[in-house]
Amino acid sequence: MKDPGEILKEYWGYNAFRPLQREIINSVLGGHDTLAIMPTGGGKSICFQVPSMVKEGICLVISPLIALMQDQVLNLKKKGIPSLAIYSGMSFFEIKKTLRNAAYGNFKFLYVSPERLETELFLEFISSIKINLIAVDEAHCISQWGYDFRPPYLHIADIREYFPNIPILALTASATLEVQEDICNKLVFKKDAQSFHQSFERANLSYSAFNLSSKENKLIHILKKVPGSGIVYCKSRKRTKEIAELLNSNEISADFYHAGLSNDERKNRQENWVNNKTRIISCTNAFGMGIDKPDVRSVIHYDVPDALENYYQEAGRAGRDEKKAYAVLFYNERELNELRKQADIRYPTKEVIRTVYAAICNYFQLPSGSGEGISYDFDINSFVKKFKLEAYLVNNVLKILEQEELIIYNEQFFSLSTVVFTVTKSELEEFEKSYPHFEEIVKGLLRLYEGIFDFPCSINETQLAKFITLKKEKLVASLNKIKQIGIIDYIPQKEKPQIMFLQNRVNAKDLMINEKNISERKQAFEKRLSAMMKYTKNQSKCRSKMIAGYFNEHLVRRCGVCDNCIRDKKIIITNEEFEAIKSSIEKIVGEKSVSLIQLYQELNSFNQAKIKKILNYLQEENKIKSSKEGLIGMR
């Protein structure tokens, strides 16, 4: 058995592990179920990739992110590590071939989305696959009290019965204490399970929040003052384009990115940004997962997110090279007032849910008692126009129907083009003689895609066009012509959102909705929203400490570089003033609790900013405490 350090050096070229990586790897190699909480860019993938290379067998990696799966498989292959992935859009034959390779080939990693674990085909092969580790990425998705609940994650523990002695490694960048406990419970962690938490502290990252009437001017000012690569997060697709246009008109190289773009467009824009051909990417939260770009100098949130988990992950994409970087949040009072209404909009009434459900079924002309297992392309713009509904409301209901396991809604569905020959080899030879101008295309298909005579193979038109030195547009036209002649079955790639029904259609009035679960998820959302708004509006506490405290890490020091810490530094207090104010606070509070207003009134001979600074100091030193009602008391 090779040493993990040797594996790290041989395949990744690193001489040493990052903090906690070695401890997590040792826990996994010791056979322990393990929870690893590591910030964005903390090197989570190394924690399952290295131990799997040490052990005989293949690592099953469960991830909801198709783009991340594809990137990791590609990167592993470049390192000479054979790896596989199964994701939406693959044909039955491709999936079967992949599972057969996992069971009988010399592969080290199999990436799958969580919903694949329950399919008959996967269960047919599972006992033949020699799994050495189960890695659950984005593990917070298992908790319905978390910010990104995905029901298929609840069934991951079911595969443990096939591998009772194989450890599970659950990985996430952000999870509250409640969600951490939920992860361990839902994955049925054993008693000797171990947990590792990397600090949420980012010493090189300066957090700040600005209350603005004109966000555009501040955005341009920051990006002209802070050089280097950056991300601007926006809430709407429309705004991403507007921001990119604004920046370009001010001579700041920018492009925009969202889930509504084609797969090729998203890929090209991402690559241009990663390779510094584009300086700023203006995007929705569809952008950023799995992107390894260490030199991002600024991440600006043009709109306030609805959870600190989201904000921390997205802001954490700045400064992964450990050099100075900036995480900036823009807000105004009107926006915060709109946010306060989000809980009722995000979780509509049972009647509204049933109305939208009925409309969806009618849109697909789905008869009652049918639909289970069937997928449909879904054009949300056409749908909302036809049924006179708001797109935002429909999106929220789709998420609830998905969380209730009635449908699967895939907003970024992508399937590659497929080709299969529908004639015999002798008939194909006759076709080539009759149509010699198509001969190069036929030969290119046969050389590039093994098994194309037996079952539909995924093809890449760009790759094939390059291989036979033909323009892509001409190739696509030719493939369609060959299809018309009856030689091949050619299905071009799909990129439309999809809805798959998990249950047969029922009458809307009979639709079973777990109102208790929805109510509890709503309360959890309101709690997250409240924490986000407190963070946004606070102008005295260290922002790094606020974020760490939210995730139950209370020993983090003041960062000294956030806007509140810098503001605090400007307030100079002499030793005499400090002692006088501190003694007065202790005397006024004494054995009782007083309100902040009362305290300020009784200390009206002192500067209020200095009182606030000393109160913060006393609170951080655990000398005083504040209650939910806003009362100050001694500890």
pLDDT by residue (tens digit) across 499-510? Answer: 999 999 999 999
Give the pLDDT confidence score for residue 562 in this predicted structure: 96
Identify which has the larger pLDDT, 355 or 492. Answer: 355
Checking if the pLDDT of 570 tops 90, the result is: no
Checking if the pLDDT of 426 tops 80, the result is: yes
The pTM (predicted TM-score) of the whole model is: 0.81
Residue 598 near residue 633, CB atoms below 8 Å: no
- State residue 106 phi and psi, 5-degree precision: -100, 65
Mean pLDDT of 248-268: 91
Identify which has the larger pLDDT, 568 or 250. Answer: 250
Give the pLDDT confidence score for residue 628 in this predicted structure: 64
Task: Using a pLDDT cut of 70, give the percent of the chain over it.
Answer: 98
Give the pLDDT confidence score for residue 233 in this predicted structure: 97
Supply the Cα-derived Rg of the chain in whole angstroms.
28
- State residue 419 phi and psi, 5-degree precision: -140, 140
CB neighbours of residue 442 within 10 Å: 20
Give the pLDDT confidence score for residue 588 in this predicted structure: 85
- Reported confidence tier of residue 489, pLDDT bands at 50, 70, 90: very high
Give the pLDDT confidence score for residue 633 in this predicted structure: 76
Tell me how far apart the alpha carbons of residues 271 and 274 are, in angstroms, rounded to a whole number: 5
Give the pLDDT confidence score for residue 414 in this predicted structure: 65
Look-up of token digits 């190699």: 29
Tell me how far apart the alpha carbons of residues 37 and 47 are, in angstroms, rounded to a whole number: 11
At 206 the three-state DSSP class reads strand
pLDDT by residue (tens digit) across 194-227? Answer: 999 988 989 999 999 999 999 999 999 999 999 9
- Reported confidence tier of residue 629, pLDDT bands at 50, 70, 90: low
H or E stretch covering 36: strand 34-37
Please give the single-letter amino acid code of residue 475. Answer: L
Checking if the pLDDT of 424 tops 70, the result is: yes
Residue 237 near residue 303, CB atoms below 8 Å: no
Give the pLDDT confidence score for residue 501 in this predicted structure: 94
CB neighbours of residue 340 within 10 Å: 12
Please give the single-letter amino acid code of residue 363. Answer: Y
Give the pLDDT confidence score for residue 482 in this predicted structure: 95
Checking if the pLDDT of 228 tops 90, the result is: yes
- Reported confidence tier of residue 620, pLDDT bands at 50, 70, 90: confident
Bridge partners, 375 (sequence order):
500
Mean pLDDT of 446-469: 87
Checking if the pLDDT of 413 tops 70, the result is: no
Task: Using a pLDDT cut of 90, give the percent of the chain over it.
Answer: 65
Checking if the pLDDT of 630 tops 70, the result is: no
Tell me how far apart the alpha carbons of residues 153 and 142 are, in angstroms, rounded to a whole number: 5
Mean pLDDT of 31-39: 94
Tell me how far apart the alpha carbons of residues 193 and 136 are, in angstroms, rounded to a whole number: 15
Checking if the pLDDT of 599 tops 90, the result is: no
Residue 376 near residue 370, CB atoms below 8 Å: no
Tell me how far apart the alpha carbons of residues 119 and 467 are, in angstroms, rounded to a whole number: 36
Identify which has the larger pLDDT, 67 or 51. Answer: 51
Identify which has the larger pLDDT, 635 or 194. Answer: 194
Identify which has the larger pLDDT, 495 or 281. Answer: 281
H or E stretch covering 71: helix 66-78
Strand order in the sheet with 488-491: 457-459, 417-421, 488-491
Tell me how far apart the alpha carbons of residues 417 and 491 are, in angstroms, rounded to a whole number: 5
Checking if the pLDDT of 291 tops 90, the result is: no
- Reported confidence tier of residue 431, pLDDT bands at 50, 70, 90: very high
* Strands 624-626 and 631-634, bridge-based pairing: antiparallel
Strand order in the sheet with 34-37: 83-86, 109-112, 58-62, 131-136, 168-172, 34-37, 194-197
Eight-class DSSP state of 56 = S
Closest by Cα among 150, 129, 174 to 63: 150
Tell me how far apart the alpha carbons of residues 432 and 442 are, in angstroms, rounded to a whole number: 8
Handedness of CA 190, 191, 192, 194 (dihedral sign): positive
pLDDT by residue (tens digit) across 301-326? Answer: 999 999 999 999 999 999 999 999 99
Give the pLDDT confidence score for residue 490 in this predicted structure: 92
Closest by Cα among 502, 499, 492, 500 to 415: 492
Lowest-confidence pick of 160-164, 290-294, 371-375, 412-416: 412-416
User: Average pLDDT over the chain, rounded to whole?
Assistant: 91
Tell me how far apart the alpha carbons of residues 462 and 281 are, in angstroms, rounded to a whole number: 25
For the ranges 76-90, 105-119, 323-337, 597-611, the maximum mean pLDDT occurs at 323-337
Residue 568 near residue 540, CB atoms below 8 Å: yes
pLDDT by residue (tens digit) across 167-196? Answer: 999 999 888 999 999 999 999 999 999 999
Identify which has the larger pLDDT, 405 or 144. Answer: 405
Tell me how far apart the alpha carbons of residues 189 and 176 are, in angstroms, rounded to a whole number: 18
Give the pLDDT confidence score for residue 351 in this predicted structure: 94
Lowest-confidence pick of 258-262, 348-352, 392-396: 258-262
